Amino acid sequence: MSTAPHTVTAEAIDARLRQVFQPTELLVIDESHRHEGHAGANGTGFGTHFKVHIASPLFASSSRVAAHRLVYDALRDFFDAGLHALAIELK
């Protein structure tokens, strides 16, 4: 995996998830603006709170918990770079 991005963006998360999971469906939404003043907010309204809708054949043999762990593991360096919260919807 690549090094941590300088800025956590929906585009960078999308690219990583496409690279790792070859999803059949993927939508990444930056919801940081909805969490201003909450824990983990960085004051910019961007790059801290995301929602991901993802479907991948790689999740077929995984439990929901295991699939969530795979997504979190794929984005570990994004968390190190400021991603605070990630809501995952598996399809």
Task: Give the position of tokens 């059949």.
Answer: 24
Locate the DSSP E strands across 9-74: 25-30, 49-55
Is 1 within a domain? no
Q: pLDDT tens across 16-75, in order?
A: 999 999 999 999 999 886 646 555 555 555 567 899 999 999 999 999 999 999 999 999
SS3 of residue 83 by DSSP: coil
Domain count, the chain: 1
Residue 70 structure tokens:
């795979």
Would you state the pLDDT for residue 37?
58
Q: Which helix (H) or strand (E) holds 34?
A: none
End-to-end Cα separation, the chain, in angstroms? 24
Which residues lie below 8 Å from residue 38, measured CB to CB, with a gap of 6+? 49
Is 2 within a domain? no
Domain extent for 60: 10-90
